[in-house]
C-alpha cells in the first residue's frame, strides 16, 4: 500500500496483488472517484452506492434488497434473492433470477421471461410475439341471464351468446325504421364489479351504419355508449375497459344494450357470438 502520486492528504491508493486464497478488509467508508476494478470475488457487508453507469462482465448475486437508479449492463447472469427496484434501465445478456421485481419504467425482454410465481400488472401489457401459458389463466366472468329484443327480428336463444367461439350466434336482422335494432342483455347474478365489457360480434351492415355497445347508468337512468361496431367488420372480440363502474351496477345487476340508432336496413344483420362482463 502506498500513496498515489496525485492523492490528496488523507487519500489512500491501494495496489493489492494476491496469489492463492486471501482477503482484504476495509473497515471504513471508502470513496472511489474513478474506476473500481475487482478481478476476484467481492463481499460487501454494507451499502454499495454507485452514481454512474455500471457494467458487470460476470455474474452478479445479491442476497438483499437492491435499488438501481441509473443504467446497468450485465454481460453475465443476475441473481437477486430479495427485491430488485429499478427506476432506470437494466440490460442483462444472461439469465435473470429475481425474488420480487418492481419496475416503474419501460421493460424490454428480448429473450424468454419465465415467471414462476404470481404476477400483477397495473396497466396494459403489449406482446408483439406469441404468448405461451403452461398453466391456466383465470378471469372471473358474469354470464348473461336474460335477453330482450325490442326492435329487429332474431334467430337464436340466450345460450347462443353466453359461450365464445362455440360456432353458435344470436343473429339480429334490422328493420327499416329507427332504431334499426335494439337488444338488451341483462346480468342479474352476482355483479359485484365490472372490469371489462366483452363482446364478440360481426356486423354485416350498410356503409356508414353502426351498432353501439352500451351500459345502463342507473344514476342518470340513461344508456352510455362504450364502443361502436362499424359496418363491414368481420367477427372480432372487443374488450372494453370500464374505469369506473359505480353507476353501472344496481343491486348486483347490470344491463348491456346493442343499439342501432339510425334507421335500419332489412338486409343488414348483426351476428352476436358473445356478450359478457368481467370482474
Q: What is the pLDDT of residues 132-179, one digit of tens each?
A: 777 666 678 899 999 999 999 999 999 999 999 999 999 999 999 999
Residue 276 dihedral angles phi and psi, to the nearest 5°: -155, 170
How do the residues of the chain divide into helix, strand and coil, expressed in percent and rounded to 5? 5, 40, 60
CATH code for position 191? 2.60.120.260
Flag whether 7 is in a domain: no
All residues at 6 or more sequence positions from 162 whose CB lies less than 8 Å from its CB, including other chains = 143, 144, 274, 275, 276
For residue 242, the enclosing domain spans 141-278
DSSP for residue 179: S
Q: How many domains are contained in the chain? A: 1
Flag whether 181 is in a domain: yes
pLDDT per residue as tens digits for the range 97-132:
666 666 666 666 666 666 666 677 666 677 777 777
Cα separation, 152 vs 1, whole angstroms: 93
Q: Which three cell numbers stand for residue 107?
A: 421493460
At 279, is the pLDDT very low, low, confident or very high (cuts 50, 70, 90)?
confident
- 274 in Cβ contact with 163 (< 8 Å): yes
pLDDT per residue as tens digits for the range 198-237:
999 999 988 888 999 999 999 999 999 999 998 876 789 9
Flag whether 128 is in a domain: no
- 236 in Cβ contact with 200 (< 8 Å): yes
Amino acid at each position: 500500500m502506498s500513496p498515489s502520486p496525485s492523492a490528496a492528504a488523507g487519500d489512500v491508493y491501494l495496489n493489492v496483488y494476491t496469489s492463492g486464497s486471501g482477503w482484504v478488509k476495509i473497515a471504513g467508508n471508502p470513496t472511489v472517484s474513478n474506476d473500481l476494478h475487482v478481478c476476484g470475488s467481492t463481499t460487501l457487508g454494507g451499502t454499495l452506492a454507485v452514481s454512474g453507469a455500471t457494467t458487470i462482465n460476470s455474474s452478479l448475486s445479491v442476497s438483499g434488497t437492491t435499488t438501481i437508479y441509473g443504467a446497468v449492463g450485465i454481460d453475465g447472469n443476475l441473481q437477486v434473492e430479495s427485491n430488485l427496484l429499478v427506476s432506470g434501465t437494466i440490460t442483462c445478456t444472461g439469465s435473470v433470477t429475481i425474488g420480487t421485481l418492481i419496475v416503474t419504467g419501460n421493460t424490454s425482454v428480448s429473450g424468454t421471461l419465465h415467471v414462476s410465481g404470481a404476477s400483477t400488472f397495473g396497466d396494459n401489457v403489449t406482446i408483439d410475439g406469441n404468448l405461451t401459458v403452461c398453466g391456466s389463466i383465470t378471469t372471473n366472468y358474469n354470464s348473461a341471464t336474460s335477453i330482450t329484443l325490442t326492435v329487429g327480428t332474431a334467430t337464436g336463444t340466450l345460450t347462443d351468446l353466453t359461450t365464445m367461439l362455440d360456432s353458435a350466434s344470436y343473429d339480429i336482422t334490422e328493420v327499416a325504421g329507427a332504431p334499426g335494432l335494439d337488444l338488451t342483455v341483462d346480468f342479474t347474478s352476482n355483479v359485484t364489479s365490472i372490469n371489462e365489457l366483452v363482446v364478440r360480434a360481426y356486423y354485416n351492415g350498410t356503409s356508414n351504419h353502426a351498432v353501439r355497445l352500451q351500459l345502463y347508468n342507473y344514476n342518470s337512468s340513461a344508456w352510455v355508449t362504450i364502443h361502436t361496431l362499424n359496418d363491414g367488420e368481420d367477427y372480432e372480440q372487443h374488450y372494453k375497459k370500464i374505469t369506473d363502474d359505480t353507476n353501472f351496477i344496481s343491486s348486483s345487476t347490470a344491463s348491456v344494450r346493442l343499439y342501432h340508432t339510425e334507421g335500419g336496413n332489412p338486409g343488414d344483420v348483426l351476428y352476436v357470438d358473445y356478450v359478457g362482463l368481467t370482474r
